[in-house]
Amino acid sequence: MKIKDFVIPTKISEAYEFAHSLGQSAYYIAGGTSAYFVQANAEKVAIDISKLPLFGITAKRDSFRIGALTTISDIMKKEEDGFILNRAAKKFVNQQIRNISTIGGNIARVFYWSDFPVVLKTLDGKIKITGFDSKILKISDVFHNSTTHKEAIGNAIIEYIEIPRLLKNMGFSYSKETRISSGFSSATVASFIELKDNKIKDVRITIGSVFIFPMRLFELENSLKGEPADFSIFNKINFNLLDKYKFNPRDGMSLEYCKHLVKTRIKDVLVESLKEALGEK
Ligand SMILES: Cc1cc2nc3c(=O)[nH]c(=O)nc-3n(C[C@H](O)[C@H](O)[C@H](O)COP(=O)(O)OP(=O)(O)OC[C@H]3O[C@@H](n4cnc5c(N)ncnc54)[C@H](O)[C@@H]3O)c2cc1C
């Protein structure tokens, strides 16, 4: 990427208006870690948004609001009942990148290895996006697919995300497979389970890395809803429901191995989520 100009706005409206006037050549810099992955000959005007007031994690009664400029390191350090993004932050590459990379930057542009889009799509919640107007949208709508994501964000600024607090009858787990310890993901799987009357009331499963854009497995989820909160149900998962998806194996994996890995990890995260929902961990 060639930077032909550089501005440092201090107001969200100023940053957006500038980006809007530039169109395709505008490039917000938050942590700046993705600049490396932008086409080498692309000419951009960098809009450094790191001075905008979008920092920090605010605990609310049923949720947590995370400013877009909050670093992955700060998310990792946050310890509070019901806050679970720190689990994904611990699996994020290495401390150097965690120190610089922001949650907004991680979800504004989705690479196959991006951790937080997979996690947020599973937890759902809200996202505030500001262009000429501000909108608060459901994360699941924005991250439905790459088109909805592109349309919702465009050149606008993500201000914050708000995710639900994990309550007593709920469980969450995130699995990330890499070939070497700080390598890009070969397969990521996140799951969430909510119990009611000792049955699975809600279950969400999202797969990343092996698809271009993270994918929720709605049919598989539906097949588990209403089942008893018993680990044996995971031995009967109908994995044929995955046959219709086009997998992109990474790191030289064969397609067969890739599918096998994903199935194994789905089971693992579901077991961990159920354990937590049952209060066993
Ligand atoms: C070697 C290496 C390995 C990595 N491994 C992983 C990994 O395993 N998992 C993982 O999840 N990530 C990984 N990353 C980080 C990831 O690829 C992104 O580079 C990073 O998350 C972007 O965050 P940032 O704050 O640096 O954003 P920037 O690079 O500053 O910006 C990224 C994009 O988002 C836009 N943007 C930034 N903030 C906002 C905002 N608030 N509103 C709207 N648009 C915005 C920018 O215009 C740009 O297009 C890795 C990075 C490197 C360099």
User: In the numeric block, which tokens belong to residue 274?
Assistant: 């159920």
How many Å lie between the centroid of ligand 1 and the Cα of residue 100? 9
Say whether both 68 and 145 belong to one domain: yes
Q: Which helix (H) or strand (E) holds 170?
A: strand 170-178
Say whether both 212 and 129 belong to one domain: no
pTM greater than 0.85 (yes/no): yes
Question: Domain range holding 273?
Answer: 170-277
- Number of domains into which the chain is organized: 3
Say whether both 66 and 44 belong to one domain: no
Cβ contact 266:237 at 8 Å: yes
Which among 50, 106, 175 is the best mutation to test ligand 1's pocket, defined by most ligand atoms within 8 Å of the CB?
Answer: 106
Measured between alpha carbons, how far is 24 from 227 in angstroms, rounded to an integer?
Answer: 49
pLDDT > 80? residue 155: yes
Which CATH number goes with the domain that contains 235?
Answer: 3.30.390.50
Least confident of 6-10, 67-71, 114-118, 200-204: 6-10
Say whether both 209 and 273 belong to one domain: yes
For 59-79, the pLDDT digits (tens) are: 999 999 999 999 999 999 999
pLDDT > 80? residue 230: yes
Which CATH number goes with the domain that contains 91?
Answer: 3.30.465.10
Say whether both 179 and 273 belong to one domain: yes
Q: Whose CA is nearest to atom 9 of ligand 1?
A: 114
